[in-house]
Amino acid sequence: MKENKLLCGKSISTHFGKRKFVRFRKIRAEYPLQHLCMDIKYIPVNGRFAYLLSLIDVYTRKIMVYVLRRSIRQHDILWLLKNVLPEKANAPITLRNDNRNQFIAKSIRAYLEEINVIHEFAHIATPKDNSYIEAYHSIMERELVSHYEFESFRHADMKIAQYIFTYNHIRKHGSLGLGTTVAVWNEYFFRQTSDKQSIAVKPEGLSRFF
């Protein structure tokens, strides 16, 4: 493509410092909050775009929290993470995302390093490395976004909130044995042995999120 001048003069920069790239595409999660994935999705709103930042738990497929903004900045990502992650990770927690500038920011990486969260990046132009959140955004596109022409930011925010509640509490997930994400979450925390409960972060304080 370069020889035939099909790249339109564009190139992908990888000079953002050292990063830990994904080694294994498939994640084997054994408990909630062990592996998390985040990404940003474009939402068309009245001829413009809003940006949806979502965080998914791989074990339960639960959307832990999201923010919808006209632009996503570093402080939005920090707000999202601080409302889900513990003050200090005593058990292994891995956060996976792609290579957007917001995710590569020094403030994000420094924060995650400080609380002992492993931060790993998908390989450049390899969305399959972040397939769990990509699959969720694809489902949302098919089940919600493609059915609406959002008239305003408020309209989009309302519909997305309704959809995420349905996704977590009502929608049956084939990967969960046709259970809901919240049912799997609750089953782990309230029915497993006390040993397992001590491994993962307990759900207190997360009730105002999805």
pLDDT value for 90 = 86
pLDDT value for 135 = 95
| Domain boundaries of the chain, sorted by first residue | 20-199
pLDDT value for 192 = 57
Note whether 162 and 60 are within 8 A (CB): no
Note whether 157 and 148 are within 8 A (CB): no
DSSP letter at 129 equals G
pTM comes to: 0.81
Residues 6+ apart with CB under 8 A from 85: 93, 115, 117
For the chain, 210 residues long, the average pLDDT of each consecutive 10-residue run is 51 58 87 96 95 97 96 96 92 94 94 96 91 95 96 96 96 89 90 50 40
pLDDT value for 43 = 97
| β 20-21/118-121 pair status | parallel
The CATH architecture that domain 20-199 belongs to is: 2-Layer Sandwich (3.30)
